[in-house]
Amino acid sequence: MYECYWLFKERPFDGICDPRFHCRLPGQHAITEKLRYALVDRAGCALLTGQPGVGKTALTRDFVRRHGGRFTHIAWLSQPYFGHQDLLRRIYLQLSADQAGSADALVLEHPGLLLEKIQHLFHATASHVLLVLDNIQELSDPAAIGALKAMYEWGQLSLHPLNSVAGRAPQAGNEQGFRVSVLLVGQPVASQNLRQFAGFFESLTLRLSLPCLSREELSDYLRQRLQAAGAQQECFTEEAKDQMHRLAGGVPRKINQLADLSLLVGYVRKKSIVDADEILQAARELMLLDVA
């Protein structure tokens, strides 16, 4: 609606997780490098936490886009989780999706057979499997956690201390480290939940927390998204950015909401640039002022 007014090719702050608008910020570089170490370099299992809307899923998707070619199989699961058998069934169906034939109905109904089939998939070839479990705070079934631990231990039992070739997908006779890399993604409460399973929690190679954006990062975030949308001029005053950071608390999801609605307010008011007043009006309509 406001794209032509601001000379955009498209809206820069849609809530859709569009890879063209993903912002790679300097403050997140250390986290992505540590994920690469744990997952691509086969060092083990990583836990990534952060408050809702901070960008965990977006960062994870960008990581998989950049490094997915280094894995032979990828299974990505999200909520809701319906227990042990559902978790195993979904992992098996994703990992076996590229194999001929349909899944055996008998296998899908028996957790023990599912575990055997998954283990076979791990060991049938020189594989390097990536399991991504998003919204892990929703998974509390002890049997499901036990199954994850078993998969992780299978990877430990499959060590091949041979040289790997950087930049290439795993090949037969060329593996080093874990066959199974696991990335758990969720809200901070996920760490507390997983502590109940001490054996599994203590085996995590990395426990990372994705922080909210600083004021400086917010400016960089806005700039990258506006450029991706084709912006030809500055759209927010420094005062508007200050107000946005204060009201959104550095959470990208809230920043997107405030930026999008304030651009609409600016369009309606025929402003040449969005100021703090437009941010405040957007915050009122989004009902963010009572939590600022």
**Confidence category of residue 104, pLDDT binned at 50, 70, 90:** low
pLDDT score at 63 = 95
Q: Of 27, 94, 32, 95, give the one whose Cα is nearest residue 62.
A: 32
CATH number, domain 3-11+213-291, options 2.60.120.380, 1.10.580.10, 1.10.8.60, 3.30.2010.30 = 1.10.8.60
Task: Considering only residues 38 and 98, tell me which one the structure prediction assigns the higher pLDDT.
Answer: 38
Both tokens of 167, joined, read 């930049």
Overall average pLDDT of the 268-280 stretch: 97
The pLDDT tens digits of the residues spanning 5-48 come to 999 999 999 877 788 889 989 889 999 999 999 999 988 899 99
User: Residue 100 pLDDT > 50, yes or no?
Assistant: no
User: Residue 247 pLDDT > 60, yes or no?
Assistant: yes
pLDDT score at 200 = 85
CATH 3.40.50.300 in the chain is located at 26-209
User: Residue 177 pLDDT > 90, yes or no?
Assistant: no
Distance CA 109, CA 84 (A): 11
DSSP per residue, the chain: --HHHHT-SS-TT-SS--GGG----HHHHHHHHHHIIIIITT--EEEEE--TTSSHHHHHHHHHHHHGGG-SEEEEE-SPP--HHHHHHHHHHHHTTTSSSPPPHHHHT-HHHHHHHHHHHHHHTT--EEEEE-SGGG---HHHHHHHHHHHHHHHTT-------TTS---TT---S-SEEEEEEE-THHHHHHTTSHHHHTT-SEEEE-PPPPHHHHHHHHHHHHHHTT--S--B-HHHHHHHHHHHTT-HHHHHHHHHHHHHHHHHTT-SSB-HHHHHHHHHHHT-GGG-
Taking a C-beta distance cutoff of 8 angstroms, is the pair 192, 137 a contact? no
**Confidence category of residue 106, pLDDT binned at 50, 70, 90:** low
Distance CA 236, CA 9 (A): 18
What single-letter amino acid sits at 17? C
Q: What is the per-residue burial (b if ≥16 Cβ within 10 Å, else e) of 186-208? A: bbeebbebbeebeebbeebbbeb
Alpha-carbon torsion 143, 144, 149, 155, what sign? positive
Overall average pLDDT of the 90-111 stretch: 67
User: Residue 160 pLDDT > 50, yes or no?
Assistant: no
Task: Considering only residues 291 and 208, tell me which one the structure prediction assigns the higher pLDDT.
Answer: 208
pLDDT score at 101 = 47
Provide CB contacts within 8 A for 291, sequence distance 6+: none
Q: What is the mean pLDDT of the chain?
A: 85
**Confidence category of residue 178, pLDDT binned at 50, 70, 90:** confident
At the second CATH level, the architecture of 26-209 is 3-Layer(aba) Sandwich (3.40)
Both tokens of 11, joined, read 């809206």
CATH 1.10.8.60 in the chain is located at 3-11+213-291
pLDDT score at 126 = 65
Both tokens of 77, joined, read 């699961």
Q: Length of the chain in residues, anyone?
A: 292
Q: Of 258, 260, 248, give the one whose Cα is nearest residue 213.
A: 248
**Confidence category of residue 167, pLDDT binned at 50, 70, 90:** very low
Residue % of the chain over a pLDDT of 70: 85
User: Residue 173 pLDDT > 50, yes or no?
Assistant: no
Overall average pLDDT of the 154-180 stretch: 51
Taking a C-beta distance cutoff of 8 angstroms, is the pair 131, 151 a contact? yes
